[in-house]
Amino acid sequence: MATLRDVAREAGVSVATASRAINGLGNVTAPTRAAVMAAVKKLNFVPHSGARSLTRKKTDTVGVILPDLFGEFFSEIIRGIDLVAHESGMHLLLGNMHGSTHETAAAIAAMRGRVDGLLVMPPDLKPELLSDYLDPTLPTVLLNYDAGSLDLPFVAVDNYRGAYAMTEALLASGARQVVHIAGPKHNRDARDRQRGFVDAMAKVGGVRNPAILPGDFSEESGAKAARLLVEGQLPADAVFAANDQMAVGLIAGLAEAGKSVPDDIMVAGFDDIPLARHLNPSLSTMQVHIDRLGSTAMMLLLRILRGETLGAASATILTPALVARGTTGGVASAHTPA
């Protein structure tokens, strides 16, 4: 592969001039520039971005660290990020923490020198740990994570209000015994959603200790909850799953047990993954524009990179919207509002 020196030699100029010509700096005469460009073409020269970023101290790349890469949730986030990043000529370096704390540290460390900024989504990490790993000099925006004491900008979904609203809606639809399927124990989203559910049950429904089944956001755990519900004879006329994935498993499990949704029991989820409106009956859920989570975070990061100093005060809270569909007795067919 040709280097800048090769090009300079070929064009009969110095490396400085070659560099200037290639980067379109003003102080080069037209003939000189033409000669350099001809050499570039001839040698098929492409600048080595790694070397370039070393001196420029800019990589035009942002690191994205996600807990996993599974499912539509993450692909939508990435799409949202890419949408904004691409417009600014930024590249995306993917890091995956694969669920382990140790890997998270490694993923963050590996980013040093490769990226100009970081987008991190650490749903089950303690803030203190996170601050140990993070480089304070590296612009960072948190995804779906309110790191209060860290003073980092973040973008989050108002899980509490969303869960509260959904629970309220279920009660308004006539449900009396609403059961919640919780998400992973130390997942923040899951905990906030559970709090919203519990509070709404208490304040709106007048129920003190509503039934809560364990779950882990997986489809399988939703199916398991269905079995618990049916075999355990847990009285319920509505189930609010902490995410759509579990709601999907739940519905399948209930169908197997001969329960009809929504006639015997109503079901609601959270996230509004694309699949939700294609189910039959279609799934009532809290709509989160997942891609906006990514694009908003990326826009915040870009502002920091442009020189603004943003702290936790610049956080953006996205409020999810209730989408009533078939599983809560709404429109029975698929293809309700997208």
Partner DNA sequence: TTCGCCTGTGTAACCGGTTACGCTGTGAAC
Partner DNA sequence: GTTCACAGCGTAACCGGTTACACAGGCGAA
Contact between 8 and 14 under an 8 Å Cβ cutoff? The reply is yes
CB-nearer residue toward a copy of itself: 29 or 49: 49
CB-nearer residue toward DNA: 7 or 273: 7
Least spacing, CB of residue 113 vs DNA, in Å: 7
Q: Who contacts 145 (Cβ-Cβ below 8 Å, separation ≥6)?
A: 120, 121, 122, 123, 154, 156, 188
Least spacing, CB of residue 83 vs DNA, in Å: 27
Contact between 240 and 213 under an 8 Å Cβ cutoff? The reply is no
Residue numbers at the binding site for a copy of itself (CB under 8 A): 1, 46-54, 59, 61, 69-72, 74-75, 78-79, 82, 86, 91-96, 98, 109-114, 135, 137, 248, 252, 255-256, 274-275, 278-280, 333-335
b (16+ CB within 10 A) / e for 145-164 = bbbeebebbbbbbbbbbbbb
Residue 86 binds which one of a copy of itself, DNA, none, with CB within 5 to 8 A depending on kind? a copy of itself
CB-nearer residue toward a copy of itself: 15 or 93: 93
Which residues does residue 286 pair with via DSSP β-bridges, in sequence order? Answer: 322
Residue 135 binds which one of a copy of itself, DNA, none, with CB within 5 to 8 A depending on kind? a copy of itself
Residue 328 binds which one of a copy of itself, DNA, none, with CB within 5 to 8 A depending on kind? none
Residue 230 binds which one of DNA, a copy of itself, none, with CB within 5 to 8 A depending on kind? none
Residue 228 binds which one of DNA, a copy of itself, none, with CB within 5 to 8 A depending on kind? none
Least spacing, CB of residue 111 vs a copy of itself, in Å: 8
Distance (Å, whole) CA 81 – CA 203:
38
Burial of 32 (0-12, 13-18, 19+ CB in 10 A): middle
Which residues does residue 240 pair with via DSSP β-bridges, in sequence order? Answer: 180, 268
CB-nearer residue toward a copy of itself: 12 or 70: 70
Distance (Å, whole) CA 228 – CA 246:
14
Residue numbers at the binding site for DNA (CB under 7 A): 1-5, 12-17, 19-20, 22-23, 26-29, 31-32, 45, 47-48, 51-52, 54-57, 113
Q: How far apart are the first and last CA of the chain?
A: 50
